[in-house]
Amino acid sequence: MDRTTSTRTALAALSAALALQGCGPAKPPPAPPPPQVSVVKVHRESVAITMEIPGRTTAFMTAQVRARVDGIVLKRKFQEGSDVKVGQPLYLIDPAPYIAALNLATATLQKAQAELLAAAATVERYKLLLPTNAISKLVYDNAVAARDMAAADVATGKATVATAQINLGYTNVLSPITGRSGLSMVTEGAYVQALAATLMTTVQQIDPMYVDLTESSVAGLQLRRDIASGKLKVDGPDQAKVTLFLEDGTEYRLPGRLQFTDISVNMGTGMVTVRAIFPNPKFILLPGMFVRARIEQGIADDAMLVPQTGVTHDPQGKATALVVGADSKVAARTLTLGGTRDNDWIVQGGLNEGDRVIVAGVQKAQPGAVVQATEIQPVALAAMRSAASAAPPTTAPAPGPAAPAAAAASSAGVVSQAEPAGTAGQPR
């Protein structure tokens, strides 16, 4: 009995000790790990300063083929959309009324010429009789006047014949320029009028091709200053290079050159027009296409390239970036931007050689906080830039093509950050 009691007493004491231990002060939870970010180390290099402005293509020459005489269209002599040469017949308007008018004018001219011969002969005879007083001076003067009137009738007849020949020639409608024909606005059997200037078709020369670009008046002012100072050349071997990008984002392989800057500012939009010219031997460019042009403005010798995902803008519109220091702490920097190159900002001030700029995980980092930075290797960075360049500018990339790029970034230690592809090149 005593042994059983002592055992129970020991167990009770042990339970009380455990209970007292559980009621002691709790241990604090472990601190969360620092957020992970991806950084890019920047270096100074020579970078071409460019600007990109939108625009539309315009035909080098445009000729509206209109009716110059009245009549019925008997035949169309070209295929819509085909290339035509200057002077090539396009339409045939019924020439019968104009052939008759030419015949009438020719007959009238022949009659006037015959009357002129008779009047001239009469004057010659009277000239011999006048010294002998066989005729009066009045009769002679009337004969001279009749001869001159007959000569005027001949001149009028010649002009009438020429007009009839011109009108007859207008029945055979010719192409005024060499180019590519458009839609035929009239069919065989249609009635066209010269007074209404009936539009029959349009011929456009599209090699070379104009590109009319629109930019703000402030940017246009700077462009004119660069041209006037010689920093930007529009002709000669050192002329400014203009690169064109098509609607789907692909680069047009043939370079263009600047033509001129318009002297008028659109009062409604505050924009000015800059015209460039591009060769178009394969007719890739068509009139009315929406394009973007990149104009090289000069070379910055000590600029840095920062991916656009690493640059944000504060409420005042100033460009900023987050930099990870040697102590793994985040610091904010105010940047001076010099434009863009592909999917990178050109930074001309605000960063130092070797700074590590956060390009992924920006939302997790705050100035003064400690982060765990993973540097993106050059190969992975080049892959990211290539994937961003290949993405359509206005729509998000499809899941299929985006998967390999995401896998490559993950294998390189890149923290992915979702961002709409259409806003990759816009200020944030």
The domain tally of the chain equals 3
Distance CA 266, CA 11 (A): 96
Top-confidence residue, 19 or 76: 76
Q: Considering 238, 266, 298, which residue would you say is the last residue of a domain?
A: 298
293 and 397: one domain? no
399 and 304: one domain? yes
In a domain, 79, yes or no: no
In a domain, 10, yes or no: no
In a domain, 120, yes or no: yes
Q: What average pLDDT does the chain have?
A: 81
356 and 405: one domain? yes
Q: What residue type is assigned to position 4 of the chain? A: T
Cβ neighbours of 373 (radius 10 Å):
21
Per-residue pLDDT averaged across 372-387, rounded? Answer: 71
pLDDT at residue 22 in the model: 53
208 and 269: one domain? yes
In a domain, 340, yes or no: yes
285 and 321: one domain? no
Per-residue pLDDT averaged across 325-334, rounded? Answer: 87
Asked whether residue 84 carries a pLDDT value surpassing 90, the answer given is: yes
315 and 383: one domain? yes
Asked whether residue 399 carries a pLDDT value surpassing 80, the answer given is: no
In a domain, 385, yes or no: yes
CATH value at residue 108: 1.10.287.470
SS3 assignment, position 11 = helix
**Among 69-78, 86-95, 268-277, where is mean pLDDT lowest?**
268-277
**Among 63-77, 169-183, 387-401, 405-419, where is mean pLDDT lowest?**
405-419
Cβ neighbours of 263 (radius 10 Å):
9
219 and 286: one domain? yes
In a domain, 16, yes or no: no
CATH value at residue 398: 2.40.420.20
399 and 316: one domain? yes
Instruction: Give the helix ranges, DSSP H, for 54-95.
Output: none
Asked whether residue 269 carries a pLDDT value surpassing 60, the answer given is: yes
Q: Considering 238, 273, 298, which residue would you say is the last residue of a domain?
A: 298
pLDDT tens sequence across 121-141? 999 999 888 888 888 999 999
280 and 311: one domain? no
337 and 407: one domain? yes
Distance CA 388, CA 152 (A): 80
Confidence of residue 420 (pLDDT cuts 50, 70, 90): very low
Asked whether residue 1 carries a pLDDT value surpassing 50, the answer given is: no
Q: Considering 170, 194, 214, which residue would you say is the last residue of a domain?
A: 170
Per-residue pLDDT averaged across 326-330, rounded? Answer: 86
In a domain, 317, yes or no: yes
Containing domain of residue 160, as a range? 95-170
Give pTM, 2 decimals: 0.61
378 and 317: one domain? yes
Q: Under a CB-based contact definition with an 8 Å cutoff, are residues 227 and 298 in contact?
A: no
Top-confidence residue, 233 or 69: 69
401 and 414: one domain? yes
Confidence of residue 235 (pLDDT cuts 50, 70, 90): low
Q: Backbone dihedral region of 288: left (phi > 0), alpha (psi from -120 to 50 degrees) or beta?
A: left
Per-residue pLDDT averaged across 343-367, rounded? Answer: 85
Which range has highest mean pLDDT (226-230, 311-315, 417-421)? 311-315
Confidence of residue 7 (pLDDT cuts 50, 70, 90): low
In a domain, 136, yes or no: yes
CATH value at residue 208: 2.40.30.170
